[in-house]
Structure 1
Amino acid sequence: MWKWLHPYAKTERAYQLCLTLQPWFWVGALACLSVGTVWGLAFAPQDYQQGDSFRIIYIHVPSAILSMGTYVAMAIAALVGMVWQWRTAYMSMIAMAPIGAVMTFIALFTGAAWGKPMWGAWWVWDARLTSELILLFLYMGVIALYGAFEDKQQAGKAAGVMALVGVVNIPIIHYSVEWWNTLHQGATISKFDNPSIAPEMLWPLLINLLGFAFFIGAVITVRLRNEIVLREMHRPWVQALAMNKALNQQPGDAATASLKEGS
């Protein structure tokens, strides 16, 4: 596996990989989110207790799951950067951080909106809600720490240490419902042998989960490309890329300049 990944330690290869994957991620996100959202909001049956208010699950659950998944991926990238000294690993880490923070915020916001009719309050200091809030602070801490250093290699190392330390919060979020007596409901889709949700409600949820994953992948590839360009502006291949892009976007200006030189 590491032999397969090793070529992408080079920034140019990582940039090309992002270009290759990005359209597939966007297509997958558009297809899955369209099908899953329409199916879940319009065709899935009502919950016998919550009525139509349960439909927020199609946004809340994918964002909550992927807020944790993105953090784990960010921590793995930090570990790779620290062990093998890959600059692209640190770039990937910081490319993921804002996306994970947004997913965490969406999970908290939709959870509060769902909790209001169910619990009678927008917020309670439930173990899962509190640990999810801590996850948001961890994301913000990684972003702030990375931005505090001018030397981005040192910034990646410092932010990577924080990302790795924060991994301990992930199992706390996941198992908090089992470890403590909380208001938050238990596992639903993770119990594959006997899921606590009807199949006609489960399938659009799984499709939306996949759609969110594709969307996160697409945005991360965009952010990683931008990070590579910003960090590698002095490299000839980046300068050539910028020149080609400028010529493609402004053909009229280039033609005018050529006419002026000829005259």
Structure 2
Amino acid sequence: MLLPYLVALSGGLLLVGLIWGLAFSPPHHEQGNSYRIIYLHVPAASGAMMGYMAMGICGLVSLVWRMKMAEVAIKAIAPFGATLAAVALITGAIWGRPTWGTYWIWDARLTSMLILFFMYLGVMGLQNAIADPRQAGRAASLLSLVGIINVVIVRYSVDWWHSLHQGSSMSIFGAGGSQIHPSMLAPLLISMFGTYFLFAVAVLIRTRTEVLWRERRSRWVKEVLR
């Protein structure tokens, strides 16, 4: 069973990345120590977008091939994705106050991330509001698939419109490489991978729970729970 190893891996990476970034990485030459919130903000925002992209793919599989497990996966992903989107919005607001002089502005990146959070809530709302699991799954699949458009907007909003939010500085494989100093980039990447593995842990646990609940009257479930 891989779950215990994933738990240990995610916990270890997050512990190392956050302690390194928050306590030992050097201060930013312009933002001072306020920039350190990126070690929470960037992994949360990246994880939230990754999670919705995964839901969109599952939505396509569900609508085209009618696979029940794709609907289960969407239901498993949505709560943790919404949590990460909320963390990204909150930490972004905290970061924005000393950096931009305000907690919130209707900037393209901020607004599209807020819409992403609401779309997560919309998927969860559809799943809970519709009594028939299959109908609820199809409705959530459709919203998940449509919502990919907003994920693309979140990702490229700072390039398409004049934005208060700074542009991407993590193009590691681009022509110019990353604009973040290695002493700051290393803990950030570690925190991001820790977040991704934690996401995988949450999805696996919720998927297993949902499958057991849906098949609770089956003989194999009763044998497993003995």
Which bracket does the TM-score occupy, shorter chain normalised?
Answer: over 0.9
Distance 1:117 1:177 in 2: 20
Which residue among 103, 106, 110 is the counterpart of 2:84? 103
Q: Distance in 2 between matches of 1:87 and 1:173?
A: 29
Q: Distance in 1 between matches of 2:17 and 2:116?
A: 27
Does 2:177 correspond to 1:202? no
| CA–CA distance in structure 1, aligned partners of residues 16 and 173 of structure 2 | 22
Do residues 232 (structure 1) and 215 (structure 2) align? yes
Q: Which residue is equivalent to 1:44?
A: 25
Identity between Structure 1 and Structure 2 (%): 46
Q: Return the alpha-carbon distance in structure 2 between the equivalents of residues 220 and 202 of structure 1.
A: 27
Residue among 24, 27, 40 paired with 2:8: 27
Correspondence list, 1:66-85, <5 A? 66-85=47-66
TM-score, normalising length from structure 2?
Answer: 0.96
Deviations 1:134-189 (A, max 9, x none): 00110000110111112111110111011111110011111110111111000011
Residue 221 of structure 1 is matched in structure 2 by 204
Letter aligned with residue 66 of structure 1: G
CA shift at 1:190, angstroms? 2.8
Is the aligned partner of 1:211 residue 2:213? no
Structure 1, unaligned runs of 5 or more: 1-19, 245-263
Matched, 1:153 2:97: no
Structure 1 segments of 4+ aligned residues over 2 angstroms from their partners = 190-193
Residue type at the aligned position of 2:127? Y
Name the counterpart of 2:117: 136
> Which stretch of structure 1 is more off in the superposition, 73-82 or 45-54?
73-82
**Count of aligned pairs between the two proteins:** 224
Deviations 1:1-34 (A, max 9, x none): xxxxxxxxxxxxxxxxxxx232122011111011
Equivalence map 1:5-24=2 (5 Å):
20-24=1-5
Deviations 1:201-254 (A, max 9, x none): 000000000000011110111111111111111111111122x2xxxxxxxxxx
Q: Which residue of 1 aligns with 2:158?
A: 177
Q: Which amino acid aligns with 2:218?
A: R
Which amino acid letter does the alignment assign opposite residue 90 of structure 1? E
Letter in 2 for 1:202: L
Distance 1:191 1:180, change over 3 A: farther
Which consecutive unaligned segments of at least 5 residues does structure 2 have?
none
**1:47 partner SS:** coil
